Amino acid sequence: MTEGHIEPKPHPSLNLPPHGSIVTVKIINTTSDLVCGSDGFIQPVLEGHEVLNLPTFAFLIENETLGKTILFDLGARKDWWNLAPSVQKVLKMSIKGCNIRQGIDEILQKGGVPLGEIESVIWSHWHWDHCGDMSLFPGSTELVVGPGFKGAVMPGYPTNPNGVLLDSDFEGREVREITFESDFKIGQYPAQDFFGDGSFYLLDVPGHAVGHIAGLARTTANTWVFMGGDVCHFGGSFRPTAYAPMPQEIPADVPMDPWFPKPCPCTFFTDLHPNPDKGLARTEPFFQVTQKEPSWYIDPSTAQQSIDRLQDFDADENVFVAIAHDSGLMPVVEWFPHGTMNDWKEKGWKEAIHWGFVNDLPVKGKSAKPDLAPGRIRDGKVVE
């Protein structure tokens, strides 16, 4: 049932705004590399895939027309032991490993971007691996958060002894909570024009955490980068689909670990799919949101709906989807401060990253994979 060509189904229209300014987007490897149990994120958990190795990405967005520079997410703070006690307790119980080599403040300044130039920091959500250390930014940098954030997590610790954030994240700065009150949508997500010039939109993407939002940046007149935050944590959660079926062979130009054949027959992976005998292994995602407790999703059913909506964006040839922990991006994109994401389509990045998640899947009959390609994550560390 996995042989032969499968004709993609037409994907739903996203109703992408046809006109607007362009922003420059640079992707930042925050060097926050984590090892987490798979069962807190996905189901089913496959033998040999009991952990997820997760890099963490942020984005520098420059609107040159308006003279404004913002950040979407920050990664983890380097001194994670100074997080709120309630968060440290959760990390000790649930994180199997972490390696945080630099704070985003160091990365930006080494790349020639003073922190004082950042007008706004947007948090996709309030989890520790996305919030960094806001106290390092001047009070002139506003903090932008999603719906319901203030009521859920403010004030911080120590004002609230059980707080998940710190008072120092908010002191002396404006905290602006986004609301999505109109019926304007891009795809199936409620949307808001952040700059008011059609260049960058915030999207309401609920389910993972209170106030979870995504970003959508116009990188040319007709191309976009979708900054997914933690709408999901693994490429196999939203790939493949009937809109973008897994090919009979993974193309030779897709970065694969050294021991895979090139091109690689899809049966290496479809044999592990939950529906291998139903003709769905090449047209349905490998994983669903976990129903196990404790879960990293505050509302698993809503989170699954948000992931299903993401598939429409991923199927559009003019949208590059970058979720915050997608290890498939590691060997493909150009990292800050070198280059931008604006020419992603010309460089073929979408095709190169699309099936990168299969590198992390176990393979039937293989008890261990001996080699990983440089730039990949294993046990919370980057393979050199």
Selection from 276, 288, 287, 282 nearest residue 250 by Cα: 282
Q: Is a pLDDT exceeding 50 seen at residue 239?
A: yes
pLDDT digits (tens, 9 = 90+) for 259-295: 889 999 999 999 899 987 667 899 999 999 999 888 9
- pLDDT per position as a tens digit, 297-342: 999 999 999 999 999 999 999 999 999 999 999 999 999 999 999 9
Are β-strands 319-322 and 224-227 bridged in parallel, bridged antiparallel, or unpaired?
Answer: parallel
In the chain the domains, ranked by start, together with CATH numbers, are: 24-382 (3.60.15.10)
d(CA 175, CA 182): 21
Evaluate if residue 376 carries a pLDDT over 60: no
What span, in angstroms and rounded, lies between the C-alpha atoms of 83 and 85? Answer: 6
Report the alpha-carbon distance of residue 124 to residue 131 in Å, rounded: 9
Q: What is the C-alpha to C-alpha distance for residues 353 and 225, in angstroms, rounded to an integer? A: 13
CA distance 202 to 348: 25
Cα 33 from Cα 295, distance rounded (Å): 20
Type of residue at 102: Q
pLDDT in the model for residue 212: 98
Write the single-letter amino acid at 165. L
Q: Which residues, at least 6 apart from 38, have a Cβ–Cβ distance to it below 8 Å?
A: 45, 49, 50, 51, 52
Q: What is the pLDDT of residue 362?
A: 87
Region 250-259 average pLDDT? 90
- The 10s digit of each residue's pLDDT in 94-111 is 899 899 999 999 999 999
pTM for the whole structure = 0.94
CA distance 77 to 86: 16
Break the chain down into helix, strand, coil percent, rounded to 5. 20, 25, 55
Per the listing, tokens 């698993």 go with: 300
**Distance (Å, rounded) from C-alpha 142 to C-alpha 144?**
6
Residue 170 has φ and ψ, to the nearest 5°, of -110, -20
d(CA 320, CA 353): 10
List helix spans (H) across the chain. Answer: 85-94, 104-110, 128-131, 149-153, 267-270, 300-315, 349-354
User: Which amino acid is residue 42, in one-letter code?
Assistant: I
List of residues 6+ apart from 308 with CB closer than 8 A:
none
Q: What are phi and psi of 149, to 5 degrees?
A: -60, -50
Q: Tell me the residue length of the chain.
A: 384
Does residue 56 have a pLDDT over 90? yes
Q: 372 pairs with which residues across the strands?
A: none
- Predicted confidence at residue 366, as pLDDT, reads 52
DSSP secondary structure of 313-358:
HHHSTTEEEE-TT-GGGTTTSPBTTS--STTTTTTTHHHHHHTGGG
Binned at pLDDT 50, 70 and 90, residue 380 comes out as: low
* Average pLDDT in the chain: 93
pLDDT band at 367 (very low <50, low <70, confident <90, very high): very low
**Backbone φ and ψ of 264, nearest 5°:** -110, 120
